Each structure stands twice: as structure tokens, then as C-alpha cells.
Amino acid sequence: MSERQVVTRIAPSPTGSMHIGTARTALFNWLYARRMGGKYLLRIEDTDRERSTEAAVKVILDGLTWLGLEPDEAPVFQFSRADRHREVALELLARGAAYRDYMTPDELAEERERARAEGRVVRTPWRDANGGPMDPDRPHVVRLRAPQSGETRIDDQVKGEVVFRNVDLDDLILLRTDGTPTYNLAVVVDDHDMGVTHVIRGDDHLTNAARQTHIYQAMGWDTPVWAHLPMIHGPDGKKLSKRHGAQAVSEFDDMGYLPEALRNYLAKLGWGHGDDEIFSDAQARAWFDIRDVVGAPARLDWDKLNHLNNHYIRLAEPERLADLVEAVLKSRDWPLHDGDREILVRTLPLVREGARTTLELADAVVFALKRRPLELPDKVRGQLTEETRSRLGRLAAWIEEAEWTPAALEASIRSFAEAEGVGIGKFGPALRGVLSGGSPAPDLAGALVSIGRDESLARIRDALPNEALGAIRL
């Protein structure tokens, strides 16, 4: 390769959702461009007018934004370039590298039958009809005059050298009967015009690489470097499908995964840096090489993704986690009140240790957000014997004087237990139940800090018989 600046691109078709495979393709293109100091572009392949709604395009743009993989330039919309694609087809005609094929649909159907019976690809008599009628008004398609003998070699950065026998490739259609350009023509013209040097995409396009090479050659253009990525399979090794759960990027968002966790995870799907499980974007950018991608299908592994997500949840700023958890709670119609934000910010760092997703984080904070009086489950009620209630009354008075920090409260609870001559186990579970209403909660001191002084004391008071109330000054 010459010293051209590396230009990569992703070229998704708007289908209404953004597949996780597309996200990984985007990531690898982005990483490679970053590694090489190049450019990473986006082309929206919106030639299917029915599917390419504004909403479907937005899904892709939103997905890339969420993943932090926005392109370096404004997207190119393929449909808007149809005239340019036609122009290239006409130039190929003028060069004799393409020809008009006037086979009627019936004739084509017959030829297909014959080709199938003879075990060969479709051929048309118009390829060699030199000097025959070339009437542009008679219905026809424009086909590429592709080589019929020899081989086309794809020197693929991931798959190695892949060889296609040209006899197995038919003369691909460039313009349909209605004059619209076909997919392979549009891709080549766009990639060429966008200056794309590296085409990194799913290996379902490997055969297209051979066909597209013929167009490049016919135009005398440089072919890009090819890199075809293996598919992503489900944990069972089968092609990823609905059965395996989430497939769309938005679903991973809805399930409470952080974009940086998904990025780290996707980078590991087919590529890796030794045994490193966790790496930052900066490390991935410094290490990534398309040649290190493995050719075999990658398997989705939910345990690994959960592990990474937990890692990034533990690293995240509490304010950001609070935003995410607020969104989860809103989606659950949980009523948020003034002051809940502060509760979230101080509670999240105390409960995030084991959380695999932001949905689990939301479950882990509800104890602190509940409104009084809390509904106590039977189990907690059962723990509230008269003895325990009066002890909780004394405890409330005792800790009220403490500084409201985890360390101070822990010490205060310990000294209270000593003063009472009992173990913490004697009243701890009941206290926890009264504070949390039976929801998951961190240790006692953590729960008290999360809930806050006044609210904690009030929750304890709510659970006490009237005669014990005197012990609590509120």
C-alpha cells in the first residue's frame, strides 16, 4: 500500500435496529482508523426506500452516538448518489467493460433453469452480441463484463488469501431495468469516491469483495484492503438470533449495559490483546490491528459481558450512575421526589459492588428512596418482638448523637451492642428490615447513611410501639 491516509467506513443499511454485529464492525473500523491516525466515515445505505425511514436512520445515528463511535465526518447517504452511480455504469458501458442485456424476464427464468441444471452461473447471449441492437429504450439491464476465466484473489486481512474462480461469478447487474443502480455498484463507487482505503465488514460480504474487485478493475481504480470479520454467534455456537436474547444495541442499553462495557466486550469478540479482559479505549486504540482479528466466529458470552459491565459500573462517576438509574426508575414509573437525587448519589457507591447492570443498581437503591411509612413484610414484623422494639428505640436515641458517616455509625452501633450486652445479630436484622422495608440494602451503617439521619430515625420510629417513642427525639 502507498502512504495514503487510512480511511475506514461503516455502511449500515437502516433496518429499524442496529445489530450488535454492526456495532462491532463500527468499533473495529473506528479502532483501526484511530490506530493509524486515519479517518472513520459513515455511509447510510438507504437505497431500500421502504425501510430507510427517518426513524430507521435515527436508530443508527443514536446507536453510534450511544456507543461513542460517531463518524469523523457527516454521513454520506447512498440514495442521494444514484446519479453518480449511473454515471459510472455509463462510463463502463462506454469503455466496453459493461453491456446492455435485453433478456426478457421469461428468458432469464429459462436461463436460470438451464444454468441450475448444468451446474453453472447464469450467462446471457448479449455479452457477445457485438454490433447487435443497443437500443437504450428497449427494456434491459446493464451488466458488468466480468472476467470468465482465471481467478480473483482477495488478500483478506482476516481470512487470509481467498480465491474465487471467475467462472463461478456471473456478470453482475450494475443497473436494473428501471435504471436504478445495484448494491455492488453503489458500494464500489461510494467507497472509491469517499477515498476508503480499508473495507472492514462482515464476512457475509466476502463474495461481494470478488465481484466488487471486478468493478474496481474495470474502472482502473485501486482496490481497498479487505478485512472480513467473522459473524457473532450465540453462546451455543449458532448464528445469533432472537432466541439468544438481545441483538440490537438499543436492547443492551435497555438492559442496563454501559457503552464502555459493550465497547470493551465487542473489542474482545474476535480480537484481543493477549489475555487482557479489561482495557481502556486508549489501550485498544494503541493495540488494535486488523490483522490480529481471528477468522472463526466469535461467541457471545453473557457472563463476560456482565463481568465487564460490573467493572465499569464500579468505575463510573456517581453523578452519571444517578442519571442512568433515574432513567431506569422513570421507565418503571417509580415516583421520584425532590432530594432523591442526593440520595442516589450517596447510595450508589455503597451498593454498586455486585451490580451487573444499571437495572440491578436500580433494584439496589429502592430501599433508600421508599416513602414512609414503609410497608414491612411479615418476616420483618416477626422480628419486631417487644424486646427488639424497645431496643431499637434505645438504639435510635444512641445513634442520633453519632456523626452520620459509615465509620462513625458502625462504631456507634458496635458500642450500643456492647452497652446492651448483646451481639449485633440480636437486633441487626430487625433494624435492617425496618430501614429497608425488606428490600435489598447494604450493611447497617451504609443503609443509615444512604437513607439519611432524619429519615432513618423516622423509619425506626414508625416501627416502634408508642411507649418507646419517648426515647427518640425528633
- Catalytic positions, please? 242
Strand runs labelled E in 134-245: 141-144, 151-156, 160-165, 173-175, 198-202, 225-229, 232-233
- Kindly write down the DSSP assignment for every residue of 291-353, as one continuous string: GGS-SSPEEP-HHHHHHHHHHHHHHS-HHHHHHHHHHHHHHTTPPP-TTHHHHHHHHHHHH-T
User: In angstroms, what is the minimal distance from the CB of 144 to ligand GLU?
Assistant: 17
- Kindly write down the DSSP assignment for every residue of 454-468, as one continuous string: HHHHHHHHHTS-GGG
Q: How far apart are CA 130 and CA 112, in angstroms?
A: 23
Residues that bind ligand GLU (CB under 6 A): 11-13, 45, 187, 201, 205
User: In angstroms, what is the minimal distance from the CB of 19 to ligand GLU?
Assistant: 9
For ligand GLU, give the closer residue by CB, 12 or 442.
12
For ligand GLU, give the closer residue by CB, 11 or 316.
11
User: In angstroms, what is the minimal distance from the CB of 147 to ligand GLU?
Assistant: 22
User: In angstroms, what is the minimal distance from the CB of 67 to ligand GLU?
Assistant: 16
> Is residue 152 helix, strand or coil?
strand
* 472, 397 Cβ separation under 8 angstroms: yes
Which residue number has the CB closest to ligand GLU?
201
* 35, 217 Cβ separation under 8 angstroms: no
Q: How far apart are CA 78 and CA 101, in angstroms?
A: 25
For ligand GLU, give the closer residue by CB, 207 or 306.
207
Q: How far apart are CA 432 and CA 361, in angstroms?
A: 19
For ligand GLU, give the closer residue by CB, 187 or 343.
187
User: In angstroms, what is the minimal distance from the CB of 177 to ligand GLU?
Assistant: 23
Q: How far apart are CA 184 and CA 190, in angstroms?
A: 10
Backbone angles phi, psi at 313, to 5 degrees: -65, -40
For ligand GLU, give the closer residue by CB, 204 or 403.
204
